[in-house]
A and B are shown apart, each in its own frame.
Chain A
Amino acid sequence: MDTNSIELEARKDARDVRVTGSDYLRAILKDRVALAASIFLVILVVFTLGAEFFAPHRPMGLNLRDGLLPPFSSGSKGEFYLLGTDELGRDIFSRLIYGARVSVSVGLIGAGLSCLLGVTMGLTAGYRGGLYEDIVMRLVDGMLSLPSLLVALFVLFVLGGGFVNLILVFSVLHWMVFARMARGLALDARTATYVQAAKSLGTTEIRIVFYHILPNVAAPIIVLLTLEIAILILSEASLSFLGFGVQPPDPSWGLMIADGREHIRSAWWLVTFPGLAIFLTALSLNLLANWVRAVTDPVQRWRWITAS
């Protein structure tokens, strides 16, 4: 038998005992908290993608006559404002939907890029070892010991804020946790039987690392990625609030809080709703990560999948 057919045979066997997608679906239906979190995230993504369709008003539409209206009030022309308006008469609900687009994509792209960078560095370092591993891990330790928000603040002060710079800064400052985890996982996998088997069949190193090891260590990395998205959404809000992130008039959740701060005594809804949106998004991501960790843990998994 040649290499490929042995590999194929092994994969067919593995698939028989593998937990399938429908098992996960059944498991999440049983966990009400995780279900609520995923429903919220799905709604968020749908709103983000179809902001033009779902937003009842234009996010930048000025209407000075209807400034600072409280939630559930009607404007001068009879239009309805679900979550009220800001001082320029812009609809808070519509701005929240458009703001989600900015905040969520900064989180997703930033965390995705740092995951890509970190996992590549970590897996190769763990598998290769030697001087390369030493240098990568020193860099990881060193960068992890720096205050990342402060460094981000300084870099954005020098480069200027904005969507693209924000994502670049996040990817450069957040890859280390992924690298550290991936390296640990690769270190374990290096001596695993399946890797030894692949190696003895003459599989190339790159193929071993990215085709054999990566799928086997994906679960903890996905958990970390979910947590990191939440962290980046929080950081984006903080940096935008300070004026170094997304620049006005783009609506971002952090910026909306910053804008509303002046009116905090008279118009509580300006600050409350964007903060609540960030909170619910981050909480849902954390709850979902918790759930993924529990279901993919081989020790705990049986309880989630098999329990009737």
Chain B
Amino acid sequence: MAYLIKRIVNSAIILFLTVSFVFFAGRLIGDPALNMLGPGASDVALENLRRAAGLNDPILIQYFRYVVNLLSGDFGISYRYGFSVLPSERLSEIGQPVIDIVLERLPATFFLAAAAMGFAVPIGVFMGVTAAAYPRSAADRIVTVLSLAGVSIVQFWLGLMLIVFFAVQLGWLPTGGYGEWQHVILPALTLAARPIGRIAQVTRSAVLEELAKPYIMTAHAKGVPVNRVVYLHSLKNAAIPIVTMIGDELSALLTGAILVEKIFAWPGIGLLIIDSLSRSDLPLIQASIVVVAALVVCVNLLVDLAYRLLNPRIRFGKTEA
């Protein structure tokens, strides 16, 4: 319990530091009013906007206001989406709130991450268990090289290669887009390559370790079928590191999606981040980064807790691991 509180406080501090960093770093790139209105804006328009947005206040007051607004879910308004060049006294009339844009994009990214994991977990676990069941066999060597290949490949390049082969040459699947079920296959496969490799590696070593234990010998002696021993007995006990790795890879997927979404024109938060970076839409960039960082920090926290729940030695033990 004490550990739980410590972890939550730590995560909150990290998010607070991220918010502060994003705020101050964002100011380094120049005058927000100029960024909003563009280089052709008149001095009067700039001054009006600065007054309306409170940009003439001391930076610390602006920072304080930013943090307080953020806590109530207000991440500011977009400089580009639904932005009107006529400066108004009321900011809400001149641009769309960025948080709405970010939240609108999240489901697509979640869907993609879930589909990628749907490929990666069964394939990775199967590869790892097979390799562990026949150590030093040809299958083991193939799994080792394949899993290292999955970790070594550049994701966006794999995506491009899949597009060339399956979409351009064979014409089986669309090159990109969103909507039909066919659209998700190539981006999900692209994203799955790395987690497949990592999950296979971890599964292999965890199962291998379990298979060397006495209870496995007992099961064999009792005449339990080999597949049952490997898949049920050992895999169940090897679950802890595997689940931890799946969680780790899930948070990596959320950032890996940035490039894959760009390649496949998948309208998730990754594509939004790239678009807003190229359009210098600062509030939107800041909001996306804070939201993704919050998601990743939450996933990491959950993984850590799941690890403790799954491991009886930690769950029932009094000492902190």
**By DSSP majority rule, is chain A's interface helix, strand, loop, or mixed?**
helix
Q: Is B211 positioned at the interface, with any CB of A under 8 Å from its CB?
A: no
Q: Is the CB of A234 within 8 A of B154?
A: yes
**How far is A264 from B157 in the complex, measured between Cα atoms in Å?**
11
Q: Is the CB of A145 within 8 A of B277?
A: no
Chain B contacts with A in 1-32, Cβ cutoff 8 A: 10-11, 13-14, 17-18, 22, 25-26, 28-29
B83 CB to closest chain A CB, in angstroms? 20
**How far is A290 from B262 in the complex, measured between Cα atoms in Å?**
33
B313 CB to closest chain A CB, in angstroms? 19
Residue interface bits A237-278, CB-to-B below 8 A is 1, else 0: 110011110000000001001000100110010011011001
The segment from B60-68, B89-97, B226-234, B292-300 found at the interface with A is: B292-300
> Nearest CB to that of B299 among chain A residues?
A145
Q: Which residue numbers of A lie inside 8 Å of B, CB to CB?
A: 33, 138, 141-143, 145-151, 153-155, 157-158, 230, 234, 237-238, 241-244, 254, 257, 261, 264-265, 268, 271-272, 274-275, 278-279, 282-283, 285-287, 290
Q: Is the CB of A150 within 8 A of B151?
A: no
Q: A145-B296, A242-B259, A264-B168 are in contact. Are A237 and B154 (CB under 8 A)?
A: yes
A-B contact pairs, 5 of them (CB 8 A): A142-B14, A146-B18, A147-B255, A150-B255, A282-B152
**How far is A271 from B263 in the complex, measured between Cα atoms in Å?**
13
Q: Is the CB of B164 within 8 A of A279?
A: no
Q: Is the CB of A241 within 8 A of B156?
A: yes
> Nearest CB to that of A155 among chain B residues?
B25
Q: Which residues of A contact B168 (CB under 8 A)?
A: 264-265
Q: Is the CB of B11 within 8 A of A158?
A: no
B interface size (C-beta, 8 A) = 47
**How far is A279 from B146 in the complex, measured between Cα atoms in Å?**
12
Q: Is the CB of B258 within 8 A of A153?
A: yes
Q: Is the CB of A279 within 8 A of B153?
A: yes
**How far is A278 from B155 in the complex, measured between Cα atoms in Å?**
11
Q: Is the CB of A158 within 8 A of B25?
A: yes
Q: Is the CB of A286 within 8 A of B152?
A: yes
Q: Is the CB of B14 within 8 A of A146?
A: yes
Residue interface bits B35-77, CB-to-A below 8 A is 1, else 0: 0000000000000000000000000000000000000000000
Q: A238-B156, A264-B163, A264-B168 are in contact. Are A149 and B258 (CB under 8 A)?
A: yes
Q: Which residues of B contact A151 (CB under 8 A)?
A: 289, 293
> Nearest CB to that of B163 among chain A residues?
A264
Q: Is the CB of B277 within 8 A of A268?
A: no
B148 partner, pick from A147, A158, A287, beta carbons under 8 A? A287
CB contacts between A and B, total, < 8 Å: 117
**How far is A261 from B259 in the complex, measured between Cα atoms in Å?**
13
Q: Is B114 positioned at the interface, with any CB of A under 8 Å from its CB?
A: no
Residue of A151, A230, A237, A287 with highest tally of chain B CB at under 10 A: A151
**How far is A141 from B153 in the complex, measured between Cα atoms in Å?**
27
Q: Which residues of B contact A285 (CB under 8 A)?
A: 152
Q: Is the CB of B293 within 8 A of A150?
A: yes
Q: A33-B145, A279-B157 are in contact. Are A150 and B152 (CB under 8 A)?
A: no
Q: Which residues of B contact A261 (CB under 8 A)?
A: 160
Q: Is the CB of B259 within 8 A of A141?
A: no
Given contacts A150-B273, A279-B149, A286-B148, 18 further A-B contacts (CB under 8 A): A145-B300, A146-B14, A147-B254, A147-B296, A148-B255, A153-B277, A237-B157, A241-B259, A242-B274, A257-B157, A264-B168, A265-B164, A265-B168, A272-B161, A278-B157, A279-B152, A282-B152, A290-B148
Q: Which residues of B contact A287 (CB under 8 A)?
A: 145, 148
Q: Is the CB of B292 within 8 A of A275?
A: no
B189 CB to closest chain A CB, in angstroms? 16
Q: Is B203 positioned at the interface, with any CB of A under 8 Å from its CB?
A: no
Chain B contacts with A in 233-288, Cβ cutoff 8 A: 251, 254-256, 258-259, 262, 273-274, 277-278, 285
**How far is A267 from B203 in the complex, measured between Cα atoms in Å?**
40
B293 partner, pick from A138, A147, A157, beta carbons under 8 A? A147
> Nearest CB to that of B296 among chain A residues?
A147
B289 partner, pick from A154, A234, A279, beta carbons under 8 A? A154
Q: Is the CB of B28 within 8 A of A147?
A: no
Q: Is the CB of B163 within 8 A of A158?
A: no
Q: Is the CB of B154 within 8 A of A150?
A: no
Q: Which residues of B contact A138 (CB under 8 A)?
A: 10
Q: Which residues of A contact B273 (CB under 8 A)?
A: 150, 153
The list of the 8 closest CB pairs from A to B, nearest first, reads A275-B157, A282-B152, A283-B152, A147-B255, A142-B14, A145-B300, A286-B148, A149-B255
Residue interface bits B133-153, CB-to-A below 8 A is 1, else 0: 000000000001100110111
A290 CB to closest chain B CB, in angstroms? 7
**How far is A264 from B167 in the complex, measured between Cα atoms in Å?**
11
> Nearest CB to that of B254 among chain A residues?
A147
B17 partner, pick from A142, A154, A158, beta carbons under 8 A? A142
Q: Which residues of B contact A244 (CB under 8 A)?
A: 277
Q: Which residues of B contact A157 (CB under 8 A)?
A: 29, 277, 285
Residue of A146, A155, A283 with highest tally of chain B CB at under 10 A: A146
